[in-house]
Amino acid sequence: MTDESEQAVPAAIEAEKRLLDPDVRASPALVSELLDPEFIEIGASGRRWDATSILSVTSDGSVVPEAPVKVSEMSGTVLAPGIVHLTYFADHNGRRAWRSSVWRLTEVGWRLYFHQGTLTS
């Protein structure tokens, strides 16, 4: 394993945890720094989001910092150079979901390319 591969998973985990931070989520500028321009999410609700729709929700002034998301079982795998797949379990105020994220390394740092949530009991 190369040094880049060894550093990729921790870097993607750090970026994912930053995106889960309630203060970051309430800031369109900070969220924008973490989303890839080609970002797509299939939310636990079944709704499909892109970077523009996520940022429109965070920029309308109605988003206030939420309770933190409790995360467990986070792990990652390097799929290819500069591409990391993360999986974890998230509990947000009793709404429990398995989460899957694909992060890619760009010229400006790690960006979330794809995310999916699946509700669970």
pLDDT of residue 61: 55
Contact between 58 and 25 (Cβ < 8 Å): yes
Q: What mean pLDDT comes out for the span 112-121?
A: 94
Kindly indicate the confidence band of residue 58, based on its pLDDT and cuts at 50, 70 and 90. Answer: low
Q: What mean pLDDT comes out for the span 90-95?
A: 88
Contact between 98 and 106 (Cβ < 8 Å): no
- Tell me whether strands 70-80 and 48-50 are parallel, antiparallel or unpaired: unpaired
Amino acid letter for position 86: L
Is the pLDDT assigned to residue 35 strictly greater than 80?
A: yes
Q: What mean pLDDT comes out for the span 9-24?
A: 93
Q: Indicate the CATH number of 3-61+68-119 among 1.10.8.640, 3.10.450.50, 3.40.640.10, 3.40.50.1820.
A: 3.10.450.50
Is the pLDDT assigned to residue 28 strictly greater than 60?
A: yes
Per-residue model confidence as pLDDT tens digits over 36-50: 999 999 988 889 999
Kindly indicate the confidence band of residue 1, based on its pLDDT and cuts at 50, 70 and 90. Answer: low
